[in-house]
Amino acid sequence: MNRRTPLAPATGLMAALALTLALALALTGCSSGDGDRSSGQPELSVTGGYMPRPVSDLGAGFLTITNSGDTADKLTSVTGDISDDITIHKTENQKMMEVTSFDIPADGRLDLERGGSHLMFMDLKHRPQQGENVSIELHFEKADPIEVELPVKETTYNPAQQ
Residue ranges in contact with Cu ion by CB under 5 A? 89, 96, 120
Nearer to Cu ion, 121 or 140 (CB): 121
Nearer to Cu ion, 60 or 72 (CB): 60
Nearer to Cu ion, 114 or 139 (CB): 114
Least Å from the CB of residue 43 to Cu ion:
28
Least Å from the CB of residue 79 to Cu ion:
17
Which residue's beta carbon is nearest to the bound Cu ion? Answer: 89
User: Mapped to the 3 state alphabet, what secondary structure does the chain carry?
Assistant: CCCHHHHHHHHHHHHHHHHHHHHHHHHHHHHHHHHCCCCCCCCEEEEEEEEECCCCCCEEEEEEEEECCCCCEEEEEEEECCECEEEEEEEECCEEEEECCEEECCCEEEEECCCCCEEEEECCCCCCCCCCEEEEEEEECCCCCEEEEEEEECCCCCHHHC
Least Å from the CB of residue 120 to Cu ion:
4
